[in-house]
Structure 1
Amino acid sequence: MSHEAVWSIGELAERAGATVKTVRFYSDRGLLPEASRSGGGHRRYGPEALERLRLIRSLRALDLPLPEVRRVVEDEDAAGRVLEDAVAGRLRELGGELRALRWREAALRLVRECPPAQRAERLRLLGAVSTPPSTAPLVRFWRAWLPPRTPARAAAAFLEVAVPQPPDEPDPAQVLAFAHLHALTTAPCPPGRQPQPDVHRVAGAGGAALLYAGLAEAYELAGPHLRRGREPYAGEALDAYVAAYASAYGGRDTRDFRRVLAERLGAQPRLDRYWELAAVVWTPPGGPPEPTPGSADDWLRAALERDNARAA
């Protein structure tokens, strides 16, 4: 290699637009190839080191961690794939960081915009929730609510529709609603009260799978009626609703069964507050309220009562 193509650490730093400290940092970690050593033992670098340094600085400018940078520059044969994996991983991390920042921003706006008398309570609620929030407490709440030994597939399907996922870009109202949901689902259950309603527990583990699959179908059928603001009425959605309970109990959809079912449903504890809060979390800012399993169940119960009254 010619003398003109060999540079000291300072000359390499100047050509790359970097500091001597930066060059020494990467060189000490074995990331910059040395062309030779001077008589006094000082490092000398060639064009390969300059290209390597420029690549390293570009990768670091993308905020890739040093181990990923090392994999890219040292594995020439797989450099393309390694870089793609590293960038994809960093994009996932940044997505999570941005999501957390949006939740913090909405939480700060919530505190700033609320009346001073409410700030202490809101800070208490927000302080109990991670950022971005976790749905684990809600999942634990519903797993305790479900009948024992509910089949895993049935439980997973129910949790998918019962647990609202925190939006990526929440407004302050959604942040407050999720904080209230967290408080609601982590509060101790009152002594002597079973979390799951009797009308569901008596169906047993086998009947639970039939019940929740049928209820999910009925709620889906009721959804368009709720979005259009239609009054409850006897139709396909109600038939699916009653059939879910009938199949769970090994019975048939008869007029007597509908009357008994309405009585049992009317005697059960309700979770209205949960579904009200979930609706806020589910509904996009400025959009119409989204149907929830709770609002669909209310609509179907009302349809059942009207149907029973009409047949009386």
Structure 2
Amino acid sequence: MLSIGELAERAGVSVKTARFYSDRGLLPESARSAGGHRRYSPEALQRLRLIRSLRALDLPVSDVGRALDREDALEDVVAGHLRTLGSQLAALRWREAAVRLLQDCTAEERAERLELVGAVSAPPTTDAMARFWRRWLQPARLPAPLLGRILELAVPPPPDEPAPAQVLAFARLHAFASASCPPGALRGLAAHRPDAGPRPAVLYEGLEEAYELAAPDVLAGREPGAGEALDCFVSAHARSFGARDTPDFRRRLSGLLAAEPRIDRYWQLVGELRGPGRPTPGAAHTWLRGALERQVTAR
């Protein structure tokens, strides 16, 4: 049997630490001496060493207790701790980039940037942008799977290792999406107009394909022009209205798109956040609008 002092010495911890774990029930005592002092079995030494190792990894005491109580719990405890560490590392990377952003600017810029960055949590979340799109897509009553795909396209995740410029773009995007707007001031991804009576689910499903087809041309910097992407774009609108794709319909659609509300600032910030290698749906939409306008003007 070991006294608490002997146990602590052999395990390489202080007596105070050993007593703390004993009081919390993590290190059960086997007996008491005639004088009422705690006595521990040799198995307690191995248990204390395990506790020390787990705590050295910064595992909470409650998780250490779970790992000790059940042999199969250690794997879950480690996995949960890895998730926590990942979140903490993401927050540190974000804060480092934010501090660098504040360091490399003028005093006037610093005040504005500090306000923008201070409104974003660390690590940042995309909740504000998701609420923004849910609000403006609400009148369309889209099926949940389609709505999820639109949100995936429209809401950019924060980068894992952000540069200061990306922190600024994300903070500005957060501020844009969080600002109050009058109802009806914006429409969805493109030309969803409830007053015109289109079938929005049909429209957005077709636009998703059209944007994907246009992406290589946008990425290559080609001039807007006719082709499969434009035909798919017009066809999505035609099916939405229950109309046929005719030259007259293309002319009317071009005028409708020219008058639609725009959120170019949102897509500009998304582009800054993503980088030049991934065209945004907004950029694809602008390219397709330009292609349609050119075609109608030529005719």
What TM-score does the superposition give when structure 1 sets the normalisation length?
0.90
- Following superposition, the deviation at residue 69 of structure 1 comes to 1.2
Question: Which sits farther off after the overlay, 212-221 or 149-158?
Answer: 149-158
> Could you tell me which residue of structure 2 aligns to residue 187 of structure 1?
179
Give the one of 10, 15, 34 matched to 1:15.
Answer: 10
Q: Which segments of 5 or more consecutive residues in structure 2 lack a partner in the other structure?
A: none
Check conservation: 2:129, 2:155, Cα contact below 8 A. yes
> Could you tell me which residue of structure 2 aligns to residue 3 of structure 1?
none
- Following superposition, the deviation at residue 17 of structure 1 comes to 1.0
Question: Is 1:162 aligned to 2:154, yes or no?
Answer: yes
Give the one of 114, 131, 135 matched to 1:144.
Answer: 135
After superposition, give the CA deviation of every residue in 1:255-299 in whole Å (9 maximum; x if it has no partner). 11111100000011211111010011112xxxx342000100111
For 1:55 and 1:199, the matched residues in 2 are separated by: 62
> Could you tell me which residue of structure 1 aligns to residue 271 of structure 2?
279
After superposition, give the CA deviation of every residue in 1:2-29 in whole Å (9 maximum; x if it has no partner). xxxx221111111111100011011112
Q: 1:18 and 1:125, CA in 2 relative to 1: closer, same or farther beyond 3 A?
A: same
For 2:279 and 2:271, the matched residues in 1 are separated by: 7
Check conservation: 1:246, 1:252, Cα contact below 8 A. yes
Check conservation: 1:150, 1:209, Cα contact below 8 A. yes
- 1:74-153 equivalences in 2 (<5 Å): 74-75=69-70, 79=71, 81-146=72-137, 148=139, 149-153=141-145
- Following superposition, the deviation at residue 110 of structure 1 comes to 0.4
Give the one of 280, 287, 297 matched to 1:292.
Answer: 280
For 1:91 and 1:36, the matched residues in 2 are separated by: 37
Question: Is 1:302 aligned to 2:290, yes or no?
Answer: yes
Q: Report the secondary structure of 1:290's partner residue.
A: coil
For 1:45 and 1:205, the matched residues in 2 are separated by: 79
For 2:273 and 2:103, the matched residues in 1 are separated by: 20
Give the one of 16, 19, 27 matched to 2:22.
Answer: 27
Question: Is 1:224 aligned to 2:190, yes or no?
Answer: no
Check conservation: 1:145, 1:196, Cα contact below 8 A. yes
Give the one of 52, 61, 66 matched to 1:57.
Answer: 52
AA aligned opposite 2:126: T
For 2:111 and 2:44, the matched residues in 1 are separated by: 58
Check conservation: 2:117, 2:171, Cα contact below 8 A. yes
For 2:67 and 2:179, the matched residues in 1 are separated by: 49
Instruction: Kindly report structure 1 stretches of 4+ aligned residues shifted beyond 4 Å.
Output: 203-206
For 2:121 and 2:244, the matched residues in 1 are separated by: 47
- Following superposition, the deviation at residue 88 of structure 1 comes to 0.4
- Following superposition, the deviation at residue 115 of structure 1 comes to 1.4
> Could you tell me which residue of structure 1 aligns to residue 163 of structure 2?
171
AA aligned opposite 2:296: N
Check conservation: 1:144, 1:196, Cα contact below 8 A. no
Q: Report the secondary structure of 2:34's partner residue.
A: coil
After superposition, give the CA deviation of every residue in 1:211-240 in whole Å (9 maximum; x if it has no partner). 111111101111111222222111111111
Check conservation: 1:102, 1:169, Cα contact below 8 A. yes
> Could you tell me which residue of structure 2 aligns to residue 243 of structure 1?
235
How high is the sequence identity, in percent, across the aligned residues?
60
Q: 1:57 and 1:105, CA in 2 relative to 1: closer, same or farther beyond 3 A?
A: same
Question: Which sits farther off after the overlay, 161-170 or 227-236?
Answer: 227-236
Q: Which segments of 5 or more consecutive residues in structure 1 lack a partner in the other structure?
A: 1-5
- 1:263-274 equivalences in 2 (<5 Å): 263-274=255-266
For 1:159 and 1:84, the matched residues in 2 are separated by: 34
- Following superposition, the deviation at residue 40 of structure 1 comes to 0.5
For 1:206 and 1:89, the matched residues in 2 are separated by: 47
Q: Report the secondary structure of 1:200's partner residue.
A: coil
